[in-house]
Chains A and B, each alone.
Chain A
C-alpha cells in the first residue's frame, strides 16, 4: 500500500526535484539563446540528447517483456513485477518524447511535423509508434490497477487527503463484478498481444533512424534486432534495480522474493548473451573487413578516444554481469541490484557510443570546420537537461509508488492462491 514519504523519501524527492529544476533552467537557457548553448555542431548534430532518447526508448521496452511476453507465456512468477515494469515503461517513454522536443531546439516547430509530416520518414514513424506505445503502456498500467483502486477506495481513512478523489475518479466505477472482470481480463489480454509488435516496432524504428542513414557504424541490416535485444536487457536491469529498492523500502519481501531475483537473473543472462551475440555481429564483421571509412570509427572505439567507454560498456555492462549471474550466489538480491546498476549504466554509455563516434567519422573529410566541430563533449546545459530528464523519470516512479500500490495486490493474491508454493 502507498504510504507517506519518510525522511529518506523526502530527501530523495527533493534531490530529484532540484535536478529537474536545474535541467529546466538549462532548457530555459537553450530556449533563450538557442542550441548554441550546446556543444553540438555541424558534425555531431545528435549528441547526448539523442543518446538519452535511445536509452529511454530502450528501457521502456521492459513493459512489454514483463507484462506481455511473460503473461502470454503463462509465467506467473513475474506477476508482482508487472506494475514496476509498466511504470518504468510509461515514465521512460514520456521523457523519450520530451527529450526529442528538447533536441529540436525550436519546440513550437513540433506542429510542423503534423502539418507537413512525411510518412516516408522514419522520424514520422517514430512519432506515431512512440505515441501509440505510450497509450498502450498507460492502458496496461491502468486496467490491472482497477481492482487495486477498489481496495484503495474501500479504505478511505487510510489514504492521504485528496488522493481519495483521484482514486474515486479513476476507479470509483469498479465493483469487481463478473462482467467487469470479464471485460477487463479480455482488454488486458488484447493489450498484452498488441503491445508486443508495437514494442518491437518502437525500438526497430528508433534503430532505423540510424540504420537508414549511410554512415560508418550505422549502416547495418541487423540494427533492429540489435536494438531490441539491447532494450530488453537494459529494461530488465532497471526492473531488477527497482525490485530491490521497493522491496527494501516497502518491506515487500513477501511479494518480491529471492525467487524473483533468481528468475530475473536467468532472464538477464539470456538477454545479455543475446545482446552479446548482436554486438559481435555489429563490431567483428566490419572489423574483419576494415573498410577504410569504417576503420577510423572502429579504431576510435577499440583503441582510441572512446575505448575506455566502449570496453566499460561491453565488459562491465554486459560480459561481467552475465558471468556473475550464471552462478546462483550472483542471483541473490544484493548482487543482482549491483549487477542491475552495472547493466543500466553500461547501457547508457552504449547509447552514447552508438550516436557520437559515428557522427565524428563522416564519409567525407571534415573540411574548413572549426576545431571544436571535430570533438564532442556535452556542455553543462546538455548534461543538466539529460540528468534532469533521468531525474524526471525517477520522480514519476517515486510519485507513482507514493500514490498507487507498486505490487498488483489483487492479481498477486489470486496468483498465489492459484499456484501455492510447494
Chain B
C-alpha cells in the first residue's frame, strides 16, 4: 500500500515536471541565425549583406524586421557602420561609408561584427566575419592559336598585393539572363602564382553590335576574400545585327505599314458592306422619287 502511495506520488511529480517542461519549451527563446557576407563588385562600393533567419523543421525561414548594428573591427560606437533592419527576405545591405575610408585603407583585413537585439521571443545575437582584401584581374592571350582567359587573384599582405594561390574562382561570359560558364569546370583553382588559365574555344557566341561581350570572374563566398568580382570586355563575339522589326509591313507596325493582305481583306469587307449601304441610300432616293411620280 505504501509502495502504491509512493508510486502515485512519483507519478504526480513526473506529470508536474513534464507539464512545466512543456510549458517552458513553449515559451523557449527562438534562435536567430545571422549570416554576413562581403561583396566587392566591379567599380562599386563594397558592401555587406546581412541575412537573418531561423530554422523551422527542415526549412530556414527569413526573419523580417530584425534590428541590429554593424561594426567594423571592434564593437564600439566609433566603429559603427550602420544600424540595420532586415526586409521581407530577411536581408539588409550595408555599404562601407566614405567616412570609413581611412579605417578601410589602414589594414589588409577587417573584422565585421553584427549585433542584433532581442525582440519578442527572438534572442539577441552577435556574428562576425573576417575579410582579407583581395582583387581579381582578367587578361587574355593567344597560345598556339587558341584564345586563353587568364585570371589572376591577389590578396593584400603587408600593404602589397601578393598572388593568392589555392583560391577557387568562377569564370563566365556575362549574358542577359545569367552567365555562361567558360570551359568544362564550374570553378577553377589558382596555382601558386594566383593564376588560372582557361582555353576559350567559343567562336560563334553573339556579342553586341560591335561584337563585344564581357568576361566575368568571381570568388563565391570565399572564406577569406568573400565575394569579389572582375570583368573584362573582349571583342570576340559575333557582331549582332539587330533585326529591324518595325520598318517592314507587319501587324505591330504603324498604321501606314499594315500588311497588304490585311489591308486588302479589311477594305474588301468594308467596301462590300458600305457599298451595299450606299446602294440602300440610293434606294431611299428612288423611293422618294417614286413617291413624287406615283404609279
Which residues in window 183-227 of A have CB below 8 A to B?
183-184, 186-187, 190-191, 194, 198
Q: Is B240 an interface residue (CB 8 A)?
A: no
B287 and A120 contact, CB distance less than 8 A: no
With beta carbons under 8 angstroms apart, the residue of B258, B270, B273, B290 that contacts A120 is B258
Q: Are A174 and B274 interface neighbours, CB within 8 A?
A: no
Could you tell me the distance between the alpha carbons of A175 and B253 in the complex, rounded to whole angstroms? Answer: 54
Contacts of B262 in A (CB 8 A): 119-120
Q: Is A116 an interface residue (CB 8 A)?
A: yes
Binds A, one of B24-32, B102-110, B148-156, B275-283: B275-283
Indicate whether B145 reaches chain A with its CB closer than 8 angstroms.
no
B277 touches A116 (CB 8 A): no
Q: A93 CA to B237 CA in the complex, in Å?
A: 58
Q: Are B255 and A184 in contact (CB under 8 A)?
A: no
Q: Is the CB of B280 within 8 A of A190?
A: yes
A184: chain B residues within 8 A (beta carbon): 283, 287
B252, B253, B270 pick with most chain A CB within 10 angstroms: B270
Interface centre among A179, A184, A190, A198 (most CB of B within 10 A): A179
Which of A59-67, A99-107, A132-140 is found at the contact surface with chain B? Answer: A132-140
Q: How far is the CA of A136 from the CA of B279 in the complex (A)?
A: 12
Complex contact A139–B277 (CB within 8 A): yes
Asked if B266 and A119 make an inter-chain contact with CB atoms under 8 angstroms apart, the answer reads: yes
B210 within 8 A of A: no
Does A118 have its Cβ within 8 Å of any Cβ on chain B? yes
Q: Are the C-beta atoms of B294 and A183 separated by less than 8 Å?
A: no
Interface string of A157-194 (1 = CB under 8 A from B): 00000000000000011110111100110110011001
A186 to B253, CA, bound (A): 43
Q: Which of B250-295 contact A (CB under 8 A)?
A: 251-255, 258-259, 262-263, 266, 270, 273-274, 276-277, 279-280, 283-284, 286-288, 290-292, 294-295
In the complex where A128-B270, A173-B292 touch, is A183 in contact with B253 (Cβ < 8 A)?
no
Name the one of B254, B274, B291 contacting A180, with C-beta atoms under 8 angstroms. B291
Interface of A is mostly: helix
Do A119 and B255 touch (CB < 8 A)?
yes
Contacts A146-B287, A180-B287 given; 19 further ones with Cβ under 8 A?
A: A118-B254, A119-B258, A120-B258, A120-B259, A132-B274, A132-B277, A139-B277, A143-B284, A173-B287, A173-B292, A175-B291, A177-B291, A178-B295, A183-B286, A183-B287, A184-B287, A187-B284, A194-B273, A198-B273
- Report which A residues bind B (CB closer than 8 A): 116-120, 125, 128, 132, 135-136, 139, 143, 146, 172-175, 177-180, 183-184, 186-187, 190-191, 194, 198
Interface residues of B (CB under 8 A from A): 251-255, 258-259, 262-263, 266, 270, 273-274, 276-277, 279-280, 283-284, 286-288, 290-292, 294-295
